[in-house]
Structures are given as structure tokens and as C-alpha cells.
Amino acid sequence: MPNDADDFLTIAPNVRVLPIVHGSGDFALRVREELLARPYDALAVPLPPSFREDVEAAVRRLPTISAVVRRDVADGEGFSYVPIDPCQGVVAGIRTALGERIAREFIDLDVPRFEAVHGVFPDPYALKRVSAERFSAALLSAIPRPATGFQADRLAWMAARLREVAARRKLTLLVCSILDWPWIREAYQRPAELPDPEPVFAPTAAHRVDPETLLFFLGELPFITALYERGRRELTPDDNLSVDGVKELVLQARETLRARRPRVAERITPALLATLFRYVRNLALIDRRLTPDLFALVTAAKQTAGDDLALTVAESARVYAYADAGPPPDDDEPGAIRMGVGRAEVPGWGRAPMVSRLPGQALTWRTFQLRPRPKEPERRRWLQRWDPYGMCSWPPEDDRIESFHRHVKDQARAILGADLARSEKFTTSVRDGLDIRETLRNWHTGDVYVKVIPPGRGSIEVVVFLFDVPADPKVYTNRATWYAEHSEESTLAFYATDPLRNMVGPGIAQAQYGGALFLFPARPIPEIWTDPRLDRHDTLEGRLLAAGFLHSRDRHVAVVSPGPPPASWRRLARAYGRKIVHLPLKRFSGATIERIRTFHVLNGKHVRTYAADYIRDQ
């Protein structure tokens, strides 16, 4: 028995309509489900009969993405096209009808120049909880009546053609835009005088779409579109891809980044991904959406993980995995179209305006500032112009690492004080807090014990960071001692990767510390890598530690390393009359360590004036 919701989308006893938002994967699934749920023997689509042959041939070639194009006769300068997109509801309907041997009826009015009408619709993800009937009913009061002229004539024509189809078919499904269906229903039930159709002799042609420009052509992101196609081919669940596909996109971006820059990808932990997805959700809600768009994804990736992940997400979103899955093009096949924003480069014609015959959600284009990765010819040109006699640091990174260095010194001093802590019985003051362990140990006496932490004795002048132990001399070929530019900086000695292997801008190179020594307050010391007093130490970390013990005026030297100091380091410290205060590297977050390790070398102080334009956020 049909229910009220079924009656709502029933135009006639043997004609049903399914209003859709063109370009939505959720509505494309709904069209397929509807065609398979009822015994339809005809599918009516809002396209002219002259497009039928090329459109059906292009649909059979899916998953190859193509466009069926026709030049406007009225002005001759633009084109209209039918996007053969797996996530287009009309295309999904034709594809299902071809597979199920359901008749296809092309009922739209053929005109010399097509005028598209876009709309702003709720997020189609609502179909997961709301039926198509309720979705359409909720928008009914907000759908404007079409203007007189082309749009009104077109809807009246489709209603008349639909009556002809209904007369010879048992059950017909009309798939059309959600903006058109109330007025097609009205024209169907109240026939009006039809316009005289204008003769159109311009031919249609099917063109493949350049995979690099699919982002401007498809209704969904190319990556998400490929997931829908994968679900169809492999019979995997595809009913929640509008959300699960976003998660898979970010995870794929992380894997791509791991292959390109493994050290950067290491800091993209599950906790960071959880933060990113919460940020994406909040950005989507701010935009009054249930699912995020590409702008929200790239914004969240940049703000949580830096430019590297944001760029990789943007690049991964453009990838359509089935771009090369179809048969190779024939020799006589027209060339590929390169799509743009409202325009395209048409083979044999050039750039021209393009109008989709299946217009969907109105698009808003927003700009976002990302620093792209330089291309290899640029890197080579920058390397050729490098002056080996003029190098300096990047001040924002100096401030960051000096701040971290001071934080480590404070932590080391706290450890010194903790070694002298003692417990005493509570009398009149809680001193430095209750000593729970000692109190429980003497629970039978009823006494309460408090901690007494005396002021730390001595100070720490030298902090040594060892990020990679043991250090490979073939990897860390850049060894230098830099002197402070002002009173707030430390004297710095380090070994690092070769910065000239990673040019990121003109006069800007990037490297990573393997180990670093900070001496504060700064004072000049001999270059540690040529100091003959340190030549007996044959490892990079050993020489760096020996330099710290040699030049420290304090008894204690803070050492930050991945593991506990081996006996050889402690013997070395005793030889210089020093004592190691060890802090494990895992005491600090991996993201913080990665940011501290990465630094840039500038080819002169004048480069500081424009370095911010090339140094990407971490």
C-alpha cells in the first residue's frame, strides 16, 4: 500500500518523480536505490533527445570521466555540456537503467543556448536520516517560481513530453533538479500552450576531461568520486562515503606524505588526527554543513599539522584513481577538455565559457595561502646562486629554539632540586606539600609527613641535545659553531644534515639537527669541529658532549637524548669533572622535537626580508 510520502512524489498514477541535487553522491545512490526498488519500465531525464546517443555512449565508458559538449548557436562563443560524472544523479540513473534494460526517455527542450539555474541547498548528507520525500517537502516553500521565458517554457515542454511517455509506459521515474519538480508537476496537471521549439543543428561531441582539471568538473571531490566507483566495482559499502571518504582522504594524504617526507609524517599521530577531525567538524558546522568541503579540510590540516599536510590533502583530493582505467583513446577521438571555473579549453576552439546542463549546488570560491613545494629546476637555479661565504639563521626559529632551551634548563634545575628532597614529620607547616608515600608507610603511627625541597644548588650553563644516537657521519655532514648576534642568544655548536640538499627558496636552505650544544650566557669559544683538544673523540655525539664538558663553567651539564646516558658518557663527564643531568627525549612531544630539529640557513641577512614567503609552517 502506498503511503503519504509515496503520494507526495507521485505526479500521476504511473509517474513518480525523484527530485535531486545534481552532483551529489548521496543523491546518486538514492537514484540507483529507487530504480531498483520498484518495477520501473522507463526513466525520464532532463536532457534533450539530441544528446542521447553521445551521453549513453559516454556513460558506457565510465569510469572514464567525459563531457558531452555542444556549442551555443545563439552567440557561438560558449558551450553547454553534460558532465558524465558517476556522482551525478541523472548519470547514475542512466547507468543503472542501461544495466537493468530500462527504457531511457530524454524529455528536455532543445534550445540554441542553454541557461543554467543554480541553487543553495541543504547538505545532501541529511538523506542518511531523512527520506528523499521529506527532504523535498522541507524545501518546497523555498523553491522560487521560474521566470517567464526559457525556464518556464522548458518546464512546460518536459511536462508535455512526460505525459507522452506515461501514455505508453506502465511506471515511469522522472529524475530532475529539486528546483524544477514542483513546476513540472504543476504543468503536468495543468497543461498549457507549448512554445514552438527552435531548430538546433549544432552537433554534440564527447570529450574526455583532463584528469588535472577534474576538481573543476566533478560534483564531488575526485578522490571521493573514485571511492564511489570503487564501491560499485568491488561491491563494498558506499552508503556513507560522504563522511568515511573524508577520513580516507586524510589518511591517504598522510601515507603520501610519509613516502615523501617520513620525518614530517611521524608527527601526524592518531591524537593529532583526532584534533584535525574535530576541527574539520567545527568548521563544517560554522559553514552550516554536515560534511566538510575542501576548504575546511585544507584549513584544518594547515592549522593542526602545517603546510606539508595541507598541501598533500589538497593534492590527494584532486586524484581520480580511475583516470587511466578506461580504454585508450582512439586516433580519431577529440582531445581532452581542460576545465576551469566557468570556462574550459576546448580542443580545436580554445578557451570559452562552459555551462552545465545539470547545474547543482552554487559554488563559492575562496582563496587560501599555502606555500607550494619548489620544483626541481628552481632548486637547481637557487643552488647555483648560493654564496658559501654568507650564511645566517632565521630569527623566528632562533627565538623558538632559545625558548625551548630555557625550558629544558628549568627542567634540569628542577631535577637537581628533586635529588636533594627529604621528608619530615608534619608539625606546623606543610612545607612543599604532603608526602603521600611516606605518610602511607607510617600509617600505623598516625603521623603525617611533608616534603622539604631545598633550593637548587648550582646552575646549568650548557645544554646538549642529541636527537639521533648514534649519529651517522655520512648523514650529518654539516658541522659548525655559530656565535650569538645579541645577548638573548646562545653560542651554538651543532651537526646537521646538508642544507644545500633541500633548497626551499632563493638563498634559503633547510636542514635538520642531529645534535646541538647551547652555551648561555653566550661567549666566544673555539670552533669545536677543528679544536685539536677534541680530536680524540671519533663520534659526532662524543665530540659534542666533550665540547660541552670542556666549555661549561658549571659542574652540571644537561643532556637530552633518546635513551639513558651510557657508561662511556659518564666516564667522559668525570674526566672533565662534570656531572650529567639527563632528560629523556620522550619527555617532550614528538611534534615539538620535530619543529625544534628543523631549521633554515639563509644566504645572508638580506634574505631575512623575504624568507617568510618561502618558509612553510611546520
- Dump pLDDT digits (tens) for 548-574: 999 999 999 999 999 999 999 999 999
Distance CA 206, CA 325 (A): 17
In-domain check, residue 357: no
Residue keyed to cell 651537526: 495
Q: Which of 445, 456, 450 is nearest to 423 (CA)?
A: 450
User: Residue 137 corresponds to which amino acid?
Assistant: A
Is 324 part of a structural domain of the chain? no
Residue 574: partners with Cβ closer than 8 Å, 6 or more residues away: none
Q: Map grid coordinates 539530441 to a residue.
A: 50
Comparing 321 with 416, which gets the higher pLDDT?
A: 321
Residue 375 in any domain: the answer is no
- Name the maximum alpha-carbon separation found in the chain: 106
**Pairwise CA distance, residues 581 & 585, whole Å:** 13
Which H, E and C letters describe 199-245, residue by residue? CCCCCEEEEEECHHHHHHCCCCCHHHHHHHHHHHHHCCCCCCHHHHH
Please report how the helices 307-317 and 241-260 are oriented relative to each other, as an axis angle in degrees rounded to 10: 120
344/354 Cα distance (integer angstroms): 6
- C-alpha 273/C-alpha 267 separation (Å) is 10
Neighbouring CB atoms inside 10 A of 585's CB total 16
d(C-alpha 550, C-alpha 561), whole Å? 19
Residue 293 sits in the same domain as residue 166:
no
More confident residue, 72 or 285: 285
Residues 6+ apart with CB under 8 A from 240: 128
The reply to whether 343 falls in a domain is: no
Q: What is the pLDDT of residues 363-372, one digit of tens each?
A: 888 888 887 7
pTM (two decimals): 0.79
Q: ∠ CA 360-122-229 to the nearest 5 degrees? A: 55
Task: Name the percent of the chain lying above pLDDT 70.
Answer: 95
Average pLDDT of the segment spanning 294-309: 91
Do 229 and 119 share a structural domain?
Answer: no
Q: How far apart are CA 119 and CA 121, in angstroms?
A: 6
* Residue 618, domain member (yes or no): no
pLDDT of residue 455: 65
**Closest by alpha carbon to 560, among 544, 583, 580, 593?**
583
Query: What is the number of alpha carbons within 13 Å of residue 185 lying toward its C-beta?
Result: 23
Burial class for 438, CB neighbours closer than 10 Å (0-12, 13-18, 19+): middle
Instruction: Report pLDDT digits (tens) over 174-192.
Output: 999 999 999 999 999 888 7
In a domain, 340, yes or no: no
CA distance 249 to 544: 43
Which residue, 7, 111, 72, is CA-closest to 346?
72
What angle, rounded to 10 degrees, do the helices at 395-419 and 590-597 form?
130
Residue with cell 526517455: 105
CB 490 within 8 A of CB 548: no
- Side-chain-facing half-sphere of 145: CA atoms under 13 Å: 4
Task: Please say whether the beta carbons of 456 and 513 come within 8 A.
Answer: no
Within this chain, do residues 13 and 104 fall inside the same structural domain, yes or no?
yes
| Alpha carbon distance 257, 618 (integer Å) | 13
Q: Which of 182, 197, 216 is where one domain is finished? A: 216
Q: DSSP letter for 355, please.
A: E
pLDDT band (50, 70, 90) for residue 419: low
The SS3 assignment for 95 reads: helix
Per-residue pLDDT tens for 104-154? Answer: 999 999 888 888 888 889 999 999 999 999 999 999 989 999 888 888 999
- What would the grid cell of residue 594 be? 620535530
Q: What is the mean pLDDT of residues 481-485?
A: 92
What is the CB-side half-sphere exposure of residue 589 using CA atoms within 13 A?
9
Residue 71: HSE in the Cβ half-sphere, 13 Å Cα cutoff? 15
CA atoms within 13 A on the CB side of 171: 10
Quickly state the pLDDT bin for 76 (edges 50, 70, 90). Answer: low
**Which of helix, strand or coil describes residue 333?**
coil
238-271 pLDDT, tens digit per residue, is: 888 889 999 999 999 999 999 988 878 888 889 8
Please count the CA atoms within 13 angstroms of the CA of 594 that sit on its side-chain side: 16
Tens digits of residue pLDDT in 343-368: 999 888 888 899 999 998 888 888 88
| Same domain membership, residue 146 and residue 21 | yes
Residue 268 lies inside a defined structural domain of this protein = yes
Q: Give residue-wise pLDDT tens across range 313-330.
A: 999 999 999 988 766 776
The secondary structure of residue 112, as a DSSP letter, is S
Write out the DSSP string of 38-85.
Answer: S---EEEESS-GGGHHHHHHHHHTTTS-EEEEEE-TTTSS-EEEEEE-
pLDDT at position 2 is 45
Q: Are residues 449 and 465 in the same domain?
A: no
Q: H or E segment at 174? A: strand 172-177
| For residue 431, pLDDT beyond 60 | yes
190, 216, 242 — which closes off a domain? 216
**Is the pLDDT at 23 greater than 70, yes or no?**
yes
Instruction: Looking at the structure, tell me whether residues 126 and 66 fall in a common domain.
Output: yes
Looking at the fold, whether 550 and 413 belong to one and the same domain comes out as yes
CB of 459 closer than 8 Å to CB of 416:
no
Domain encompassing residue 584: 395-420+457-613
Q: Tell whether omega for the bond before 63 is within 30 degrees of 0, i.e. cis.
A: yes
Number of domains in the chain: 4
Cell 627529604, located at residue: 422
Res 432: pLDDT: 78
Percent of the chain with pLDDT over 90: 63
Pick the closest to residue 216 from 27, 397, 342 (CA basis): 342
Cβ contact 69:79 at 8 Å: yes
pLDDT band at 456 (very low <50, low <70, confident <90, very high): low
Strand 556-561 versus strand 579-584 pairing type: parallel
149-175 CB burial, b ≥16 within 10 A, e <16: ebbbbbbbbbbbbbbebbeebeebbbb
What per-residue confidence (pLDDT) applies to 618? 58
Residues 243, 260 share a domain = yes
Phi and psi dihedrals of 493, rounded to 5? -120, 140
Task: Indicate whether 271 and 292 sit together in one domain.
Answer: yes
* Residue 284 vs residues 278, 280, 289: alpha-carbon distances, Å: 10, 6, 5
What pLDDT sits at residue 200? 81
Last residue in a domain, options 163, 186, 216: 216
Q: Give the model's pLDDT for residue 416.
A: 76
Same domain, 260 and 165: no
What backbone phi and psi angles, to 5 degrees, belong to 613?
-75, -15
Query: How confident is the model at residue 388, as a pLDDT?
Result: 86
Concatenate the DSSP letters of all residues of 265-314 into one string: HHT--HHHHHHHHHHHHHHHHHTT-SS--HHHHHHHHHHHH-HHHHHHHH
Quote the pLDDT of residue 1.
40
How far apart CA 293 and CA 220 sit, in angstroms, is 9
Could you tell me if 508 and 591 lie in one domain?
Answer: yes
Give mean pLDDT, residues 64-73: 90
* Nearest residue to 17 via CA among 165, 146, 153: 165
**Among 454, 448, 502, which Cα is nearest to 475's?**
502
Number of C-beta neighbours around residue 566 at 10 A: 11
Cα–chain center distance at 23: 21
Same domain, residue pair 406 and 469: yes
Q: How many angstroms from the chain centroid is the CA of residue 443?
A: 57
Categorize the per-residue pLDDT at 384 as very low, low, confident or very high, splitting at 50, 70 and 90.
Answer: very high
Whether residue 256 is contained in a domain is answered as yes
